[in-house]
Amino acid sequence: MFPPARRLAVSLMAATSIITATGCGFFISEPEATSPVPAPRTIPEDSHPDQSKKIAREFVEHVANNGPNEPTVVGHVKAVIGNWGKEGGRVFISTDHAPANPDDEPPTGTGVADAFAEWAKGQDKTGSVAVYDAQGELLYGNSLF
């Protein structure tokens, strides 16, 4: 019979081999590009409010003139905060929508997120988008575009 310490060591080595062989690990890996980082519960601070409002106006105008999405939903957009480009990024959209109602189907904010994703893809940009209500609380988050 082996001493308890050796049995433990052998068991740990076997478990490590199995975990390594299956592609699992002990450490948390970086999220894949298809798995966005969870959106913050409240909208981040806007360090460039004039630029965020300008982008929001361009976005709303584009949807009103060209978008298949309902312009009245996008008309609630007040600021588009964040950075995004060909390599990805994160966008936080401030709206004047009322706080979310859990019974809303689809959830409030999906139309805004979908319209933004379509607009951004048309500019060859990628990332994730989250939509916030008038109080800065998350309405809908992590749509990839």
Is residue 133 situated within a structural domain? yes
**Is residue 12 included in any domain, yes or no?**
no
Could you list the residue range(s) of the whole structural domain that residue 71 is in? 36-144
**pTM, 2 dp:** 0.71
Q: Are strands 138-144 and 128-132 parallel, antiparallel or unpaired?
A: antiparallel
Q: Please give the pLDDT value at position 29.
A: 37
Is residue 1 a part of any domain in this protein?
no
Number of folded domains that form the chain = 1
pLDDT > 70: what percent of the chain?
Answer: 69
**CA geometry: angle at 138 spanning 76 and 144, to 5°?**
85
CA atoms within 13 A on the CB side of 116: 35
In the predicted structure, residue 73 carries a pLDDT above the cut 90: no
Residue 21 lies in a domain: no
